[in-house]
Structure 1
Amino acid sequence: MAVVIFVLVLWYGGLFFQSFFLHRYAAHQVFTMSKTMERITFVLTWIFQGSSYLSAYGYGIMHRMHHAFTDTEDDPHSPSHDPNLFAMMWKTKTIYQDINQQRIAIDARFTKNVPQWSSFDTFASSRFSRIVWGSLYILFFVCFATTWWQWLLLPVTLFMAPIHGVIINWFGHIYGYVNYNVKNTSKNLFRFDFLMMGEGYHNNHHKYASRANFGVKWYEVDLTYVIIKILDAFGLIKLKPVRIRK
């Protein structure tokens, strides 16, 4: 039971900071926060993503490119141009690393105001950091795993962030339903997104990329947005007003 709870905490903790910080803040900037709050969130993202930590800078730029080039050959991750999800994951990893290590030229429109903490990212993304987190996960399983099948959850803890990405960037462009006819294959995976905390409303998001709430229908509850509203109410962040054009 302890292992299952541990994996669930990492799943939803890592997913929240990926959605809240990397996606809605770094890439789309649907709210603002102080520099102190930003640094705190960097650290919390590292704690919950652990061995699969993603840089806000690399993620933010790559996601903006995804919106600009969705389902074209220039899309960093697309089922329309990658033969399988593993090929897509490898391509995404390569582009992400090229961005972070500044090996490729990036259009200024993709880098504007993307948060960057270079010294922290260098440490958090290092092989040393990833090995330490991975070793801690294995140690936890050694101490608390009580049945063989619980060990099948270990790869999930080690590669949590890429798994989150595959669910949305691969399956979210193949399966599901649409609320809007957009010029790409984005779909909503779930009518109530219990698994991805609102990220599963991918078609809605591609229609209104600057909207903080990814849910549109009454039953499309965006759990990340609920937490964003609470943080906004306490003054920890400030939501930007957005005018939605129908």
Structure 2
Amino acid sequence: MSTAALSEQELQERLYAKRNPLPPKQRKLKKGTFLFMLANHVGAVAALLPMFWSWWGLLAFASLYWVTVLGVTLGLHRLVAHRSFETPQWLERLLVLMGTLGAQGGPVEWVGLHRHHHKFSDQENDHHDAGRGLWWAHSEWMLHNIPALEHVDKFTGDLRRDPFYNWLDRWFLLLQLPLGGLLYWFGEANQIHGGGLGLVLWAIPLRLTVVYHVTWLVNSATHVFGYRNFACPDRSTNCWWVALLSFGEGWHNNHHAFPHSARHGLRWFEFDITWQHIKVLRRLGLARKLRLARYPG
């Protein structure tokens, strides 16, 4: 039965019902993913040691944080996953490349899982179902073999036709290698405090770890904390502090009410940084056919 056919009481009972335990084949941890995440978190902590501190490191972190988060929110999410607007192909690919620097899987997998989430949001077959708890929705789901991965191709026929996206989907982790090499060379050549290693630690594991948690907060915190403008058939909420960290993705209830809207912040106080960037692209003639929702107030 679809959520549209359920009464409000039936919907609430489904959303907040106790979840069944994971089947045995899903309980085993994915060792590769676990070790990769552990290494990133260890590297992030190491970056904060005084021996690796430098203003150059902070600059590298901040600039690449902007590049990566904007690539995820504007490129992978609003442009590609929901087709909220159109851009020239070269710009779309650049934005997707920026988002892929976040190492959250390849773009095809990212988009496929996100579209799957919208179809089954907060139901048992939602891979980061908030009904399984805050920690599961935040990141634990990635450490298990989720059935949603088997359906990625079903949701991404448009992307599978593009060889560039298929290449990125396979080799996305390799993007960190030339970036790391360039940063290491710059740090050593300019005798920056902390050296090349310090720059690499700030710009790769620290950046990735912060971007991971900010992205995961959209899956977890904005299905638990905040307020709702719309009675969506899920747990989505608007959370202002997640919106600030994630460049507007925290206005999640608005997004679930209007998934194809390029603007997520719909009320006057819901500041949406990604939307501000889209407006700049529109003024430059680089964003067209925008699909927009408005708050009915």
CA displacement, residues 119-144 of structure 1 (integer Å, 9 cap, x when unaligned)? 54056414x44455456667778844
The structure with the largest alpha-carbon Rg is 2
Q: TM-score, normalised by structure 1?
A: 0.77
Match 1:111 to one of 153, 156, 161 = 156
Cα separation, 1, equivalents of 2:293 and 2:236: 22
Of the three residues 140, 148, 162, the one matched with 1:87 is: 140
Distance 2:291 2:208 in 1: 37
RMSD across aligned C-alpha pairs, in angstroms? 3.4
Aligned to 1:42: 96
2:238 corresponds to which residue? 188
Q: Given the alignment of the two structures, is residue 67 of structure 1 paired with residue 118 of structure 2, yes or no?
A: yes
Partner of 1:77: 128
- Taking the aligned partners of 2:268 and 2:112, their CA distance within structure 1 comes to 31
Quickly say closer, same or farther: Cα 1:30–1:73, change in 2 above 3 A: same
Partner secondary structure for residue 260 of structure 2: coil
Question: Retained in 2: the 8 A contact 1:201–1:214?
Answer: yes
- The CA deviation string for residues 151-206 of structure 1, in whole angstroms up to 9 with x for no partner, is 78964324354323211111111222222222211111107933211111111111
Distance 1:23 1:3, change over 3 A: same
**Aligned equivalents of 1:168, 1:231: Cα separation in 2:** 25
The answer to whether 1:224 aligns with 2:269 is no
Deviations 1:221-244 (A, max 9, x none): 111111101112211121334466
Which deviates more, 196-205 or 4-13?
4-13
2:81 maps to 1:27: yes
Worse-superposed segment, 176-185 or 15-24: 176-185
- Cα distance 1:182–1:154, how it changes in 2: closer, same or farther (>3 A)? same
TM norm structure 2:
0.65
The question of whether the paired residues in 2 share the 8 Å contact of 1:23 and 1:60 is answered with yes
**8 Å CA contact retained: 2:106, 2:169:** no
Instruction: Please say if residues 236 and 256 of structure 2, whose CA atoms lie closer than 8 Å, have aligned partners that are also in contact.
Output: yes
The residue type paired with residue 88 of structure 1 is: W
Indicate the residue corresponding to 2:172 in structure 1: 125
* Separation (CA, whole Å) in 2 of partners of 1:170 and 1:140: 37
Task: For 2:80 and 2:187, locate their aligned partners in 1 and report how far apart those are by CA, in whole Å.
Answer: 33
Report the alpha carbon displacement of residue 24 of structure 1 after superposing the two structures with TM: 0.4
Question: How many residues are treated as equivalent by the alignment?
Answer: 232
The SS at the match of 1:113 is helix
Equivalent AA in structure 1 for residue 63 of structure 2? V
Query: What is the rounded CA distance, in whole Å, between the counterparts of 2:142 and 2:169 in structure 1?
Result: 22
Aligned equivalent of 1:208, options 258, 262, 265: 258
> Could you tell me how far 1:61 is from its partner in structure 2?
1.2
Identity of aligned residues (%): 24
Alignment of 1:3 onto 2:54: no
The change in CA–CA distance for 1:37 and 1:86 in structure 2 (over 3 A counts) is: closer
Gap change, CA 1:162 and 1:226, over 3 Å in 2: same
- Between 12-21 and 184-193, the greater mean CA deviation after superposition: 184-193
CA contact (8 A) 1:208 1:244 kept: no
- What one-letter code is carried by the residue in structure 1 that aligns with 2:143? W
Distance between the aligned counterparts of 1:72 and 1:224, measured in 2? 28
| Aligned-pair CA distance for 1:33 | 1.9
For structure 2, which runs of at least 5 residues remain unmatched after alignment?
1-54
One-letter code of the match for 2:69?
L
| Cα distance between partner residues in 2 of 1:13 and 1:218 | 26
